Each structure stands twice: as structure tokens, then as C-alpha cells.
Structure 1
Amino acid sequence: MGYQVVAAQLARLSGALGTSDHASVVSITLFVALLCACIVLGHLLEENRWLNESITALIIGLCTGVVILMTTKGKSSHVLVFSEDLFFIYLLPPIIFNAGFQVKKKQFFRNFMTITLFGAVGTMMSFFTISLAAIAIFSRMNIGTLDVSDFLAIGAIFSATDSVCTLQVLNQDETPFLYSLVFGEGVVNDATSVVLFNALQNFDPNQIDAIAILKFLGNFCYLFVSSTFLGVFTGLLSAYVIKKLYIGRHSTDREVALVMLMAYLSYMLAELLDLSGILTVFFCGIVMSHYTWHNVTESSRVTTKHAFATLSFIAETFLFLYVGMDALDIEKWKFASDRSEICTCHL
């Protein structure tokens, strides 16, 4: 009798696992097929100068979300839910690293002061402006019970800008100065916003004085400098290891694998140490492109350059596709509807 109960439980468990595996296979198959469609349609539309590939992926994601909701009769599907872990752990690192790896270093560092002025100082100005405006608007409309740290978090979030669509329009060869400014400002802006948001986690709104402000600025500078140093150190370490071990003479595969893994290691170390992974992996990419890339074999140079570009392209396309599908997540719209009703009642 006991054996029959155990067998029944195992059968039920295997059936549940089989259902879960089947759903995962369906989701992966769907996304791979959609990625292929995004690449083909995006190439055709961009070649004719109708739409860029990012907008194409976003539209395909929206259309796919509509089809999924129609087939499930309006019920929310786990395929449409955006996963933060998927974004921060798998999609973001290759995009940011490739941005640093492929950047025109001469143009970037030649205009570094201007980029820092727009990306760091401009972001700080936007941060304070949005925070003060949020405090004034929310207090005037008497909405919610947010404290000062919440308003500062709103300022840090909305001070981040996205320069992807702008860079899609610009040509790096025709307008190198403008492209380097927009690209550099976008990267520094994102890093500054993330570092600001992380620094706010340890900010106590109940004790706002000169010492608290100095601690906040000190924490911000610590995160910024530490993240940059970690990225530079990891990049130099990879160059030193590859140069001393001569891995490429024996195996190109090991050499390429080591470069890719150490790049990803820099991001994960930053997250582990509560630093800015974006800033770390970006400067790691710059250092690797200047030092590590010249210490590998010729075949590894070609492989790493195209491998990083391919991973970044796939991750970016997948991200826009995923965001388009996530826009139709029913649970988010229900929450937004409930919040709007609450705001209407307050008004």
C-alpha cells in the first residue's frame, strides 16, 4: 500500500514537472521565432528607412501580446510578465559591455569633460528638479503619503534618459563628435542615475542636515569611484592573465571564453558588492578593448569583437520585444487602474 502511495505521488510530481517543462519549451520556441522575425523584418524596414529595428521589435511584441491575450480569452499569461532578474542578470550586461568595448575611445575621452558635464552634472540637476517638482505637485494635490526619500527616488528614476532611438538616427562615421556626445551622455547618465538610486537606499529622510547630505554625497562618490575602479581592475587583470599564460597559442576557444567570462564576472562582482554593475562592466569593456584585445591572437580578436556585438544585438532585440509584450500585462493595468481611481477620489 505504501509503495502505491509513493508511486502515485511520484507520478503526480513528474506530471507537474512535465507540464512546467512543456510551458518553458513553448515560451522559448515562441521567443526564438519572434527574434528571427524581428531580425528579418527589422533589416527590411531599416534598409528602406521606414522603421529602425528597435521600433520593429517593439511593434512585434505588442502584436504578439494581443494575439496571446485573444487566445487566452483575456487572461494574463506568464509569457507577458517582465522579469527583473532576466533583465539585470542576462540582458543588460552584454549590452553595456559591448557599448564600452565598441566605443571610439579617442572621441570618448577627448570629449570626456563635456560628456561628464551633461551626463553627471546634468543628471544631478535633473534629479533635484524632478524631486522638488514631485514634492510640490504631490503636496498640492494631496496624493498619497510619500516621504522625502520616495520623492528623491522618483527624481533618480526619471532623471535617467534613453538615447537608443537617438543613436539609431545618428551615423557614427558621418557625425563622430555628436555621436560620441550622445552616446557618452547616455551611458554616464544611466550610471549616475543607478548610483544615485543606490545611494538613496542608505539615506535617512528623518535626519536631513549638513552631515546627512555630506554622507549622501560621500556614498555617491564611493559607489561611482569603486564601480569604476572594479571595472578597470578586472579589465587589466584579464589582460595580464592572457598575456602571461599565452592561452591563445594553445587554444583560441579557451582564450575567448576567458575574456567573455571575466567581463561577466566584473558585472556580477559589482552586484555582489552592492556597486553599480552598469558602470563597472562599461569601464571593463573600455579597458578590455584597449589592453586585453591586443594581447589575444588575431583569430580571437575577430571572434570576440563579433561575439560581443552579436550577444548585445540579440539581448537588445529581445529586450524591446519583451517590453512590447509586457505592455499588455493585465495585472499592471489593473494596478494602474486602481491607483488612478484612488487619485480621482482624492481629487
Structure 2
Amino acid sequence: MERFISTETLVIELLLVASLVAIMVRRLRIPYTVALVIVGLILTSQQPLELSMTPELILALLVPPLVFEAAFHINLAELRRNLPGILLMAVVGVLLSTLIVGGALSLVTPLALPVALVFGALISATDPVAVVALFRALGAPRRLALLVEGESLFNDGTAIVVFNLVLATALTGRFDLVQGVADFVRVSAGGAVVGLALGWITAQLIARVDDYLIETTLTTVLAFGSYLVAERLHFSGVLAVVVAGLVNGNIGPQGMSPTTRIVLFNFWEYVAFLANSFVFLLIGLQVNVPTLLSNWQPIAWAIAAVLAARSVVTYSLGWIVNRISDPVPIRWLHVLNWGGLRGAIALALALSLPASLGEQRELVRIMAFGVVLFTLLGQSTTMRPLLRGLGIVTRNPAQTEYEMRHARLMSFRAAADHLDTLYRDGFISERAWETLRPELLAQAETIAHAVRILQQSHPELTVEELESARREFLRAQRSALMRLRRDGITSEEVFETLVAEVDASLMNNESPTSALPPVDDGVETSMADQEADSL
């Protein structure tokens, strides 16, 4: 019981830290995940925590929700158009990266070639969480974000399969190319089939249920269950989760009500936030800085090998992609190259290394932590200036001017409101109020006229503002309905009907008045007749 209480206390403390960090990074220009790692480093340097980050904790508990949430939101039609390039990077790219990193490190570090290939396989899986979050914040092209996220989803499973095959070779000293290829195909295809079957079955169940609690529970069972079933059958659990998420995310919502879709999307966004918070905070807590510093040379070689392999893979395979699929601009290839961050999968595989690997196991783990830390603290934090420098994310001058004029208008109106408050509370005289107020209102009207002119010449400026305002008053309507139900003013049946209308408007980005049902004239007539009879 005492052990359970201490574990629960630690989890609550980590959640509190993650929440405080999330609040803090809103004012800082650093990715949330990077901030978590830094905080973890600070905490463990002040007071080392007895915290064991096992591979089972990462692979079975934290990775499935992350992978499922990302796959669930990917548009299958867009993925299909870019699938040749994504699979080329995720399969051929992982194999090339494993060979390049392993071969290079066997020459410049104490690692034997089989062990160096094991390191090359475990470090090949990319984790672009921080990069994709930055893409969304800056408004990077959707296709670029899809390429980065799609590669990561599929190369996670590929890297795990390759890692297990290479590790078996390193432990037994025997390698059969034909058997290795057969095992790779069997494990990968088996995982995809498991995910496809379970995802389709779950989507059919969701189509026959109209209860957001049950439907959310079914997707939770799918995310973790597809991983467990595939692993029990000795297939790729991660690939099973990827395919299950893709199938369920593109078929399942068709049978969902608007309310269920909103609840489901919010739920998985929250679960992914929790999983990411734990993963990156645990990374910071697990890093032993003195040990990394004492092994700086092999870590430096590992970083150089990983960066070189990533460059070779990105630009060589990018050249091929441009000839078999929609071309990828060279500027995007620069981003794909530098955006190859490493994270949870690499650390989970490093921690899963068996003791039978020998003395070199600890060096592999140290190098893995070093590479992950470098990619998070170095590459992730420099992605913003890289995007701006390449001109991928640029500020529209009209948008900047609109924001400045709008901000000035808001400031003058706020000043006029504050002046009214001062006059009403007796802090200034009526003469001062009558003198200053017209001046403020005249300036506000001048700026308002300038804003209207800019909106007329650039109509697209108001589109996002209108959508945001529409979402806000729809959410306000939803909150009012929830208060009415809580206070017993509205019945559950009426509440569900009205909330479904508001949620449908939210999903379709339309005004709530457009979603209102037509007024039943018969009802109005009947009520009017009753009133007349009563008179």
C-alpha cells in the first residue's frame, strides 16, 4: 500500500510539473517537449530521483497513445498521395541509416560491428513531436508536416523490427539474409494486418453505437489492444497501432455523431499530451550528465554519424522520391534532414538491450541518451530560425499591418472604457472626461476606418478571425447549455438535442443559426389558439 501511495504521489508531482512547464512555455519561444527535458535535467541534478524508466513502460504504455493519436488524425487520401516517398524514407531509409551509422561507429569507437549495427538500428527511429508542434504553431505547409509525421509513424515500427533482427544476429553471431528478409516481411505485414482487422472491426462497432463514452472506450481498447495482440502473435505492435489508428480515424468518425467526434478528438489530444509529458520529462530525469560528459568522445562520434547518415538518406532518397511521386522542394528536404529528431523509441530500445550483449551495452545506452539529448536541445530549438531562413514560413506584410492596426484600435477602446470607469467612480471631473473622451473616440474611429479599408483590400484577413469568433460563441452556447442541465432547468433529452446542434455547427464551421431546425408553424398556431381561448 505504501509503495502504491508513493507511486501515485510521484505521478501527481510529474503531472504538476508538466502543467507548470506548459504554462511557462506559452511565454517562451521554446518547444514544450524541450522545456520538459530541461526541467527534468534540472530536477535530477538538484535531487536524483529513484525512477526506473523500463522499455515496457515506454513501448507498451506510452508509445501506443502517441502513435494512435497521430495516425488517427492523418487524412488517408493525403497519406496515399505521399505514401511512396514516406515508405521509401521509413523502410529503405531505416536500413540505410542502420548500415551507415553502424559501419562508421565500428571504425571510430570501441563498438564491434554487430553491436554498432544494433546502435544504428535503435537510433534510426525519428520522433518529430516537437517539430510537428512547431509546424502547427507557425503554419508550415500541411504536406511538409505530413511527410515528417508519416515517416516517423512508419519508421518507428520498421526500426523496431530491424533492431530485433540485428540484435539476434549480434547475440548469436549468425546472419541469414533470406531468413532475415522473410522475418522482416512477416513481422511488418503481420502487424499491419492485425491493425487493419482490429481497426475495421472497431469502426463497425462505433457505427452501431451512439454513446460517446462507449465509443471513446472502444478507441482506447483499440490503441492498446492492437499493440498487445500483435506482440502476442510476434508481429510489430507499433505498426499494428499505426494501421489501426489510420483505419479507425478515417472510417470510424463517419459513424460518429458530432458530439462524439469532439469528445473523442479532445480525449486523444489530452492523452497524447499526458504521454508526451511523461516521456520527455522522464528523459530529462534519466539523463546522467556527469556520465555523458565523461563519454563525450563516443557521443560526439555517434552524433556525427547520425547526422551524416540522415543527410545521405534524406537527399539521396529525396532525389528518388522526386522522380516517382509529387516533387518535394529542396528547401523541404533541408527541413526533413534537420527535423530527424530522436526520442522515446530510441531510448526504449536502448533500455531493452539484454545483459548478454556484454560490456558494450552500457556504452550503447550512453550514446543513445547523448544523441537524443542533442537532437532535442540542438536540432529542435533551431528549427524555427531554419524555417524562417528558408522562407518556408513567412509573415504576410498585410497580416502584420492588420494586427498592428487592430491592436491599436483595441488599446484606444480600452483606454476609453477605463476613462469612463474613472469618471463614474469619481476619480476625474466631468470637464476632464468631456474633454478627453471625444479625443479617444475620434482616434479609435480613425483607426477603425483604417482597419476596414485593409479588410476590404485583403478579405482573407478576416476569415480566420471570423472562424475563431464563431467557435468562441458556439463554445459559450455549449457552456450555457451545460449550466442549464446542471441546474435542472433543462432535461437530459433536450440538452442532448441542443448540444448535438451546437456540436454539428462546431464540426462544420457554420453559424449556429444555420443549424437551427425550421420553426414548426403548427406548434406556433396551436400555442396562439390556446392563448386566444384563455382570453
Give the SS at the match of 1:44: coil
Q: Does 1:252 align with 2:212?
A: yes
Give the alignment's TM-score, normalised by structure 1. 0.77
Aligned pair 1:287/2:247, yes or no? yes
Once the two structures are TM-superposed, the CA of residue 179 in structure 1 deviates from its matched residue by 1.5
C-alpha contact (below 8 Å) 2:60/2:224 kept by paired residues: no
Residue pairs, 1:178-217, within 5 angstroms = 178-203=144-169, 206-208=173-175, 212-217=176-181
Structure 2: distance between partners of 1:308 and 1:168: 15
Provide TM-score, normalisation by structure 2. Answer: 0.51
1:92 deviates by: 0.9
Separation of aligned partners in 2, 1:151 and 1:67: 34
User: Aligned-pair distance for 1:279?
Assistant: 1.1
2:135 pairs with 1:170 = yes
Deviates more, 1:28-37 or 1:216-225: 28-37
CA shift for structure 1 position 98: 0.5
Contact map agreement 1:203 1:216 (CA 8 A) in 2:
no
Task: Give the gaps of 5 or more residues in structure 2.
Answer: 297-358, 364-535
Residues 98 and 312 in structure 1, CA contact (< 8 A), matched pair in contact too: yes
Task: Please state how far the C-alpha of 1:177 moved relative to its aligned partner.
Answer: 2.0
Q: Which residue of 2 aligns with 1:317?
A: 277
Matching of residue 160 in structure 1 with residue 122 in structure 2:
no
- 2:223 equivalent in structure 1: 263
Deviations 1:221-277 (A, max 9, x none): 11111111111111001122333xx321xx432222122212321111122222222
* Most deviating of 169-178 and 180-189: 169-178
Tell me the residue number matched to 1:63: 42
The 1:64–1:88 alpha-carbon spacing in structure 2 relative to 1, beyond 3 Å, is: same
Alignment of 1:1-347 (within 5 A): 17-18=1-2, 20-45=3-28, 50-69=29-48, 77-79=49-51, 81-138=52-109, 143=110, 146=112, 149-171=114-136, 174-203=140-169, 206-208=173-175, 212-243=176-207, 246-248=208-210, 251-328=211-288
* In structure 2, distance between residues paired with 1:262 and 1:161: 24
Q: Deviations over 1:192-248 (max 9, x none)?
A: 11111123355486444xxx20110111111111111111111001122333xx321
TM-aligned CA distance change 1:213 to 1:270, over 3 Å: same
Say which structure, 1 or 2, has more relative contact order (CA 8 Å, 6+ apart).
1
Q: Partners of 1:277 and 1:335 in 2: how far apart?
A: 36
Deviation at 1:336, TM superposition (A): 6.6
Distance 2:145 2:18 in 1: 27
- Root-mean-square deviation (Å): 2.8
Unaligned runs of 5+ in 1: 1-16, 70-76
Deviations 1:98-119 (A, max 9, x none): 0100113332221111111222
How far off its partner does 1:41 sit? 1.3
Report the Cα offset of residue 95 of structure 1.
0.4
Judging changes above 3 Å, is the alpha-carbon distance between structure 1 residues 294 and 165 closer, same or farther for their aligned structure 2 residues?
A: same
Instruction: Output the CA distance in 2 between the equivalents of 1:159 and 1:173.
Output: 27
- Give the count of matched residue pairs: 298
- Higher Rg: 2
What's 1:13 paired with?
none
1:170 is paired with a residue of what secondary structure? helix
Q: Percent identity?
A: 21
Matching residue's letter, 2:34: I
Structure-2 separation of matches of 1:33 and 1:159: 32
